[in-house]
Amino acid sequence: MKSLLRPALYPFTLLTLLAGCAEQEVETIHKTEDRLSAELLRGLTLDTVRLTAATRPVALTGRVALNADQTAPVYALTGGVVRQVPVSLGDQVRQGQVLAVIHSTQAADREQQQTSADLELAAARQQLATAESLHADGLLAEQDLAQARNNLQRARQEVGRQRKQAAVFGRSTTDATYTLRAPIAGFITEQHVAAGTQFTTGSLDHLFTISNLDRIWVLADVFQNDITKVKIGQAVEVTTLAYPATPFTGTIDKVYNLLHADSKTMKVRVQLPNLSYRLKPGMHARVLVHSTTTTQPQLTVPSSSVVFANDRRYVLVLKDARMLESREVQLLHTNGKESYVQAGVAPGEQVVSRNALLLYKELND
């Protein structure tokens, strides 16, 4: 095996089986040199070393969080005993879906009050009809007719109040139970009751939390020495342990202009679409913020062209139509798809930008 510590030139004929999508037969080595070079080059993906105005990214750590603008805690406005809970933590629910059925004496009282209000309204209507008939016959004073009309108006207001209350609480049934329904569509991210739970409004803050996960937040911590480097509108790439090779792109849409009391860091927020629900609340995330400030031009190569081997980094440089060179490079930093090189290559040189690791292993076996 050739040493990896010094550059070496390799005959291009060793690449006949690695020419990308073009499958080359071994017999092609007997063709003319010009034809051979053209066929093999068609199987390689090359890119050019360039001088590029560098932007040094800011690397932040953060986590995936619920979208607070699309999250709703669900309260029971009266205490009682939970009879049924037809949903579970993590379930996706639609707006209006039943979350729990609760037995409550207060619910029975409200039902009785609503029934009484309906009866009083019916009686007030009848009394007004009688008063209007008597007034027409001259048997009832104007003052008494006005009083009957006022009674009807108050009865209507009370029925309206009871119906609004029923809309908030959920209408009770004859066995003194009422249903608790989902105020929004989303996923159940918190659940604090089960069938048989007895509670009062003072002993339990809320029963469920529902969050719409179609659009998620990523909250990242910014250390004080990086505060001046981040601002609203900057492009970012978010990667997670679950999807290390799949960055999620977005922009900073909020900067929290205060420091956390313990960590002394400032938070920034990124909102990301999440229709496939791949991002889960609580995931750790790495947030790479692309700086808008540039420095002096630096040598750049595609990040896909860099090979890491034996604790060193290499690129495959095309020397001429028949030769590749495995060359060690020193990197300054990587910015997404580009890597900034301190030494090892020169502007204008061509490097292999696809299947570089596969070619490197083949050439160095």
- pLDDT computed for residue 175 by the predictor: 65
Q: Measure CA of the first residue to CA of the last residue in the chain; give whole Å.
A: 5
Tell me the C-alpha distance between 183 and 358, whole Å: 54
Range with the lowest mean pLDDT among 165-174, 253-262, 267-276?
165-174
Contact assessment for residue 104 and residue 78, using Cβ atoms and an 8 Å cutoff = yes
Query: Could you say which of 2.40.30.170, 3.30.1520.10, 1.10.260.40, 3.60.10.10 is the CATH number of the domain covering 58-69+212-289?
Result: 2.40.30.170
SS3 assignment, position 146: helix
> CA-to-CA distance for 287 and 294, rounded, in angstroms?
19
Looking at mean pLDDT, say which of 32-41, 115-124, 266-275, 316-325 comes out highest: 266-275
pLDDT for res 32: 26
Asked if 224 contacts 264 with a C-beta cutoff of 8 angstroms, the reply is: yes
| Same-fold call for 9-54+295-364 versus 74-210 | no
Least confident of 35-39, 132-136, 180-184, 308-312: 35-39
- Asked if 47 and 337 count as a contact pair (C-beta separation under 8 A), the reply is no
CATH of domain 74-210: 2.40.50.100
Q: What is the pTM of this model?
A: 0.59
Q: What is the arithmetic mean of pLDDT over 69-77? A: 92
Residue given tokens 């480097």 in the structure block: 229
- 349 closest CA partner among 296, 299, 308: 299
Would you say residue 3 has pLDDT above 60? no
Q: What is the pLDDT of residue 279?
A: 96
Q: Is 207 left (phi over 0), alpha (psi -120 to 50) or beta?
A: alpha
**Structural domain boundaries in the chain:** 9-54+295-364, 58-69+212-289, 74-210
pLDDT of 108: 61
Question: Could you report the per-residue pLDDT of 127-184, keeping only the tens digit for each?
Answer: 989 988 888 888 888 888 899 899 989 989 888 887 776 665 555 555 678 889 999 9
pLDDT for 265 equals: 96
Architecture of the domain spanning 9-54+295-364: Beta Barrel (2.40)
* H-state helical runs in the chain: 33-42, 105-136, 142-169, 356-364
Reply yes or no on whether the pLDDT at 22 is more than 70.
no
